[in-house]
Amino acid sequence: ITVAHQSSLLKQLNQQRRQELFCDCSVLVEGQLFRAHRNVLFASSGYFRMLLSQGTDGLSDSVNATFDAFSPETFTVILDFIYSGQLDLSSLNVIEVMSAASYLQMNNVINYCKKFIKSSLDISVKDEDSERCLSLTEPCSFPSGAGDETSEQQQHGPSSVSPPPALWTRDSSRSQSGFGGKDSDQEPSALKTNQSSPSNELNTESEDLQDPHDPLYTLPGSEQRRVKVGTKRRAPNSTRPGQHEDLDIQEARTQKAEKAEELYASLPSIVGVIEHFNKDSNPIMRFKCPFCTHTVKRKADLKRHLRCHTGERPYPCQACNKRFTRLEHLRSHFETIHQARKLVCRRCKSQVTEDTGHVVCEGTRRYRMCTSCLQEVGCDSIPMDGLEGANEEPALLLGVDGEEEGETKRSWMVTDDDDLAEDSGADLIIQQVDDSDEELP
DNA sequence: CTGGGGACGGGGCCC
DNA sequence: CGGGCCCCGTCCCCA
């Protein structure tokens, strides 16, 4: 009964809209006028909620909104959905519909678009990443974007989504190149600087996050990004001597993992393929990030790029538990921080060799010092405590589960002890140089 | 204030 | 096509 009632009520409202009965809201989209009921818009869209709740005393007879960020056709789809629950998606309109939904802060529409796209471009970040996750102590798992809700999508499109480039233009204030096509090589910094005007794209750098147009606020996972930004600024200190990574950070990590789940549940996975032409009039396909203007040549690159939005860090360092977005970053970090790979004396900066550069251990950190610097610092107390860990890292890096590592591993993997260990960093532990050049896989 | 170290994102290439 | 790798530029933190 309830459902039937809701349905008939919605039908009634839709009928009223079509007959322009009691419509108290005008929406102008690229010159085309739409009439609607502000109650309905208010109930359906975060953007309209914002719009209708500010600057109006509720008494004015009409509210106007103007959009240039999407086409009238797209708004028709959106409006029809609002009034009918039917979302008329196709491979040709899904990109812009999702863009508009993002602008209008309509999460349900975003999710439907996401599922629609996902059914076409199945790029799941879940399985591989969680399987490849290097963590022994903190298994990470990210759900695919599918979420749990039952899908109501109307149809499934073909396997490729090729929106016309113009689809992604926003309002006139930021209609500059962006992803118009030929600027596909635009510098990364554009991502960080061209977001001054109302945007429905995630700005990865900005911390002033109060743009009402920014869907960041409407996506359930939005807070994840805040976590991410905060992490970016603070977490790296976990490897620095004398700084404590307290329980808060650990809690933040678990929260982060949870929020990453929410985020993936709400994020559109892959948003599309941009097609344009190069100088020789050859078509160039590119993949457009759903959250920023960035486009990439390959899906894999987009998947990689998406991590900067999701905050996903599937690669934890076994030594200090710091997490990384890419394996290569982890490797680099590990080699630099924990393996003393740099053949430079940390004190006098002189070049050393595998032989002359003595490895100094400070907590989980290792670096090299030349013989003379070592003598100046005083190296009488050299606990040779079997920390040939530098030679054991391949296994550790790989996150080999379990048993075989024994002693050496324990000295690396326990996270909370890291900082304790680093407290004792004052007394240097000198390791006999024994760098049979181990290679990481 | 500045330079170095580290993190990290992007591009491109190879396998 | 995806993963791995290398190089580069940028940003942030800290000494």
Average pLDDT, chain A: 56
CA A55 distance to own-chain centroid: 34
Q: Is the CB of A192 under 7 A from strand B?
A: no
Q: For residue A137, what pLDDT band results from cuts at 50, 70 and 90? A: very low
Domain borders along chain A are 3-122, 268-310, 312-341, 345-377
Residue of A3 and A19 predicted with greater confidence: A19
Distance (Å) of CA A30 to CA A68, A75, A170, A178: 5, 10, 11, 20
Q: Which residue has the higher pLDDT, A166 or A32?
A: A32
Q: Residues A206-216: what's their mean pLDDT?
A: 33
Bases in strand C with any atom closer than 7 Å to a protein CB: 1-7, 10-15
Q: CA A305 – C1' C12 distance (Å)?
A: 20
Q: State residue A80's pLDDT score.
A: 92
pLDDT digits (tens, 9 = 90+) for A240-270: 333 333 444 444 445 444 544 444 444 443 4
- Angle, CA of A314, A317 and A323, to the nearest 5°: 45
A413 CA, C14 C1': Å apart: 26
Is the CB of residue A300 inside 7 Å of nucleic acid strand C?
Answer: yes
Would the Cβ of A331 be found within 7 angstroms of any atom in strand C? yes
Reply yes or no on whether the pLDDT at A92 is more than 50.
yes
Mean pLDDT for the stretch of residues A391-399: 38
- CA-based torsion, A17, A20, A22, A27: positive or negative: positive
Per the structure, the residues numbered 321 to 360 in protein chain A that have their CB within 7 angstroms of any atom of strand B are 322, 324-326, 329, 332-333, 336-337, 342, 344, 349
**Average pLDDT, stretch A206-232?**
32
Q: How far apart are CA A103 and CA A200, in angstroms?
A: 5
Q: Which nucleotides of B are covered by protein (CB under 7 A)?
A: 5-12
Of the candidates A312, A318, A313, A316, the one whose C-alpha atom is nearest the C-alpha of residue A402 is A318
Closest-lying nucleotide for A131 based on CA to C1': C3
Distance, in Å, from the CA atom of A200 to the CA atom of A117, rounded to the nearest integer, reads 19
C1’ C2 / CA A149, Å: 29
* Alpha-carbon dihedral A303, A304, A306, A312, rounded to 10 degrees: 110
* Residue-wise pLDDT tens digits, A332-389: 777 777 777 777 777 777 777 777 777 777 777 777 777 777 777 765 433 333 333 3
Which pLDDT belongs to residue A186? 34
Which residues are A277's β-sheet partners? A283
Residue A81: what pLDDT? 92
Please check whether residue A40 is in contact with residue A83, taking contact to mean a CB–CB distance below 8 angstroms.
yes
Residue A345: its pLDDT value, please? 75
CATH architecture of A3-122: 2-Layer Sandwich (3.30)
The bridge status of strand A358-362 relative to strand A429-431 is antiparallel
- Give CA–CA dist A321/A364, Å, rounded: 11
